[in-house]
Structure 1
């Protein structure tokens, strides 16, 4: 009899446990984080990511906008070595960046998948450029990560930044449990870009000034430039026409000097980073003093192949930090380009004030240095 009672009690407890499990399971599923990434893939996390492997160091820019300790989130990365500008920015505030396990160099294709799995991350973050570097086919290794149960999210701040920055940053906000921070930055971002777009629309269909974007201008040969995608969208939103799209089918490529001279662009924009081959080279970026930027730019414009460009002789020559093409802070670059391309419409724009606000309100490690320069002396200020 006692045995029967015990069996009945056990059965009742088991039934109660089953009922509770059934009640709790939907709640647990409801709390799971579900997002769809830029490649249309669903990512599910049980909780916000705390151990992230970066397939490319440039994703640090986005993490720095959303999280007060982006380095503390890293379980490993494909480091870019001496050229890694964002790690340089973060190092002074987050010295632990030098202890992050290096599992590749510069891009996802160099990563050891076994090394990623060994780090036991709860998320791998890839740029679309790296994940689909070989065209429509996803990079080798994604299937291995999926088989190991490691979620992979693909974002894009480079190939089509004006279309993909908002969804990319929004999904990152959800995956990190930092949705409020993502929405705050995106509201700021939209406000600034919509203001430019609205002013251009109100101005009507005036001819667009032609722009020659001279990428990595310190290269001895002319003229590496931008085609469709990447910075071309910034130039169009700023009211200009990128002459590179007339010859290039890919996001980057080489233009002939003859084409550039014949096309006689209205505006010349050279891009640079802060680790030029020597101290006297043209440089822009973190840690670059205004004097160095201005002097290096003047020497660049004195090159025979560049001095022959009409925009240079007319004083319509400008320099821009190249790595704005990798960060959601590119709103600053769009404002600078608008001011240079359509000065009659955007004379009152203040890109420096915009950068100051991004530094103050959003970035865990502020961008401090010289990020643009002009053949006219008022630009290139440092904060």
Structure 2
């Protein structure tokens, strides 16, 4: 006869095994493209292509315990100081295998397969660029789900967040974040709709090339979509569908009333706008002010009225960009948003949902 002292551990072990089997079970989800995907969720071995902080915000820091590979260049190269902050906090990130990056044409299906993942999470733009690779992964029995924060639409932000909640098993946290984002967007748009004010003209540009050369601007997505959601009349929208350069003469003709230049923390061009973690505000302001000296800009309403602003490039296409939406809306309609502190909201979001604090320069005016 089995003694009670022996039976108890056996019963507990069986219960734990049954619990683990039910915890990660095949489940059908719908991604942002409307694709029906069946995967064992919460996923235990994930390859993550982008939106690394959003994955962590939704799943909590421990969600990265289940990440077995990343497109490292999309994090380390695009926002290097952000990467370094996370590595300093979580050194294991440095050891995560790199599966390559879409933009450098180095994405490796073989590397992904070698990691034996049970799920691959890609962005819409990555998915569209990798049709053959996705087909090979799915043929090998590895499900692929698609998220999309690049579109900068409320619908896709919410859908992506809820999907990450399913992937990480943090549905309640995902709903909390989706509700936070929804409330912020609705608040901005309801205030603007109720005011019935004319839409101010706005021009946005990535400041990576410095004042001497116009870089690309935005149409329907990223900063362009944020500007539209903030009630602005995006002067580039008729000429640029997604992102790309605009004729400098068109900027002068359109006479924007607000100009926003985005920048990042690591630039090979010393005249580029520096923004982000570790960036001194005095440095950023000096670099931003140099854009006002472009030929013809002194006569633009935005420059004449002191409405030239800088924002952090890495703060777009993410859950935290609700604060950038608030910032742009406040510059377009200062009287409507006098009570909002977008920068404080951005910093508080990081304190609450991410393991590393946002310390640096993320939104700034060219004026003191």
TM-score (norm 2): 0.86
Q: What's the C-alpha RMSD, in Å, of the aligned pairs?
A: 2.3
In the TM superposition, what are the counterparts of 1:1-383 in structure 2 within 5 Å? 32-55=26-49, 58-66=50-58, 67-80=60-73, 81-85=76-80, 86-105=82-101, 107=103, 109-133=105-129, 139-204=131-196, 206-219=197-210, 220-248=212-240, 250-277=241-268, 281-304=272-295, 306-377=297-368
Change (3 A) 1:61 1:348: same
Answer with 60-69 or 308-317: which moved more.
Answer: 308-317
Distance 2:267 2:193 in 1: 39
Superimposed CA distance per residue, residues 227-258 of structure 1 (whole angstroms, 9 cap, x where no aligned partner): 1222222112212110110212x210111111
Deviations 1:272-328 (A, max 9, x none): 111122566421011112222222222333344644533113201111111222211
CA distance in 2, matches of 1:74, 1:240: 39
Gaps of 5+ in 1: 1-23, 378-383
The alignment partner of 2:29 has SS state of: strand
Change over 3 Å in CA distance of 1:351–1:160 after alignment to 2: closer
Contact 2:256 2:301 in 1 (8 A): yes
Instruction: Return the alpha-carbon distance in structure 1 between the equivalents of residues 152 and 326 of structure 2.
Output: 18
- Mapped to 1, the partners of 2:226 and 2:53 lie a distance apart of 18
- Partner SS, residue 32 of structure 1: strand
The 3-state SS of whatever aligns with 2:28 is strand
Name the CA shift for 1:351/1:30 in 2 (closer, same or farther; >3 Å).
Answer: closer
Specify the SS of the correspondent of 1:69: helix
8 Å Cα contact 2:63/2:168 also seen in 1: no
Q: Quick one: structure 1 residues 297 and 149, their matched pair in 2 at CA, closer, same or farther if it must change by over 3 Å? A: same
Displacement of 1:160 after TM fit? 4.2
How far, CA to CA, are the matches of 1:50 and 1:251 in structure 2?
35
Structure 1 position 43, deviation (Å)? 2.1
Separation (CA, whole Å) in 2 of partners of 1:190 and 1:209: 24
What displacement does 1:181 show?
A: 1.1
Q: Which moved more, 1:187-196 or 1:336-345?
A: 187-196
Mean CA deviation greater in 124-133 or 30-39:
30-39
1:179, distance to aligned residue in structure 2 (A): 0.7
| Greater shift in the superposed pair: 348-357 or 278-287 | 278-287
Q: CA deviation at 1:210?
A: 0.3
Q: Alpha-carbon deviation of 1:75?
A: 1.1
TM-fit CA distance, 1:74: 2.2
Once the two structures are superposed, what CA deviation does each residue of 1:27-56 show, in whole Å capped at 9, x if it has no partner? Answer: 96995332100122222233311221123x
Provide the rounded CA distance (Å) in 2 between the counterparts of 1:347 and 1:319: 19
Equivalent-residue separation in structure 1 for 2:254 and 2:275 (angstroms): 27
Matched residues, number:
344
Contact 2:24 2:42 in 1 (8 A): no
Deviation at 1:342, TM superposition (A): 0.8
Residues 218, 300 of structure 1: 8 Å contact kept: no
Structure 1 distance, partners of 2:313, 2:105, is: 23
Gaps of 5+ in 2: 1-17
- Map Cα deviations across residues 64-118 of structure 1 (whole Å, 9 max, x no partner): 2122235433211222143344423311211111111112135495311111011
Distance 1:141 1:320, change over 3 A: same
Q: Which has the larger radius of gyration?
A: 1
Distance in 1, Cα, partners of 2:57 & 2:34: 24
Report if the CA contact (8 A) 1:218-1:272 is conserved.
Answer: no
